[in-house]
Amino acid sequence: MARLSRVLALLILVVGGGLWAGMWWRMQSDTPPGTPGQIQIGGPFSLTDPDGKTVTDQQFRGRFMLVYFGYTFCPDVCPTELQTVAASLAALGPDAAKLVPLFITIDPQRDTPKAMGEYTKQFDDRLIGLTGTPEQIAAVAKAYRVYYARSDSKATTDYLMDHSSFLYLMGPDGRMRSLFRPGMQPQELTAALKAQLAG
């Protein structure tokens, strides 16, 4: 009986791993969005920039968008990823003008437009911080398949946010071109972006 349980557990693990691998491959593939079986990433959004102005995805048509979801109180992964983005923008030189880097909060309760503007300026002036109502953030996170959840601490009234940490490269047509894993080195990201911008 114990052996049967181990075999079933292994089978579930293998099948589950295969499904995740398949999903990852479909997200990375060049198959045109809308193809049966292709996972849809991204979509329309209406958010608020640091000046309090409404910003929609349509305003960036014709340019690539490099989108990252995080929050200003993030202690580690967010500043690390944004530093990588900033270094890549610098390394791209004039080609960076083809790209709009967006930082979308998953913590609208604390991340006001002003807070987002002050935070993004620490990395690069070209980085645009976007916030919105909880409903707007939930909608854009769902469209990009972003996981996030509040994590409260018993020791303090402050809280952290658990969240996924991918960089999404959206094409001039608004469709996803590439999904970059967390922890990439700046030179890796720069090379990947150059290849996409030149394509």
pLDDT at 163: 96
In a domain? residue 125:
yes
Domain span at 156: 42-198
Report how far apart, in Å, the C-alpha atoms of 78 and of each of 30, 58, 82, 179 are.
28, 26, 6, 16
Domain count, the chain: 1
In a domain? residue 14:
no
Q: What is the CATH number of the domain that holds 66?
A: 3.40.30.10
Paired strand residues for 163: 148
pTM as predicted: 0.81
pLDDT at 97: 96
In a domain? residue 79:
yes
Rounded Cα distance between 199 and 191, Å, is 13
Rounded Cα distance between 112 and 33, Å, is 33
Tens digits of residue pLDDT in 163-194: 999 999 999 999 999 999 999 999 999 999 99
In a domain? residue 33:
no
In a domain? residue 99:
yes
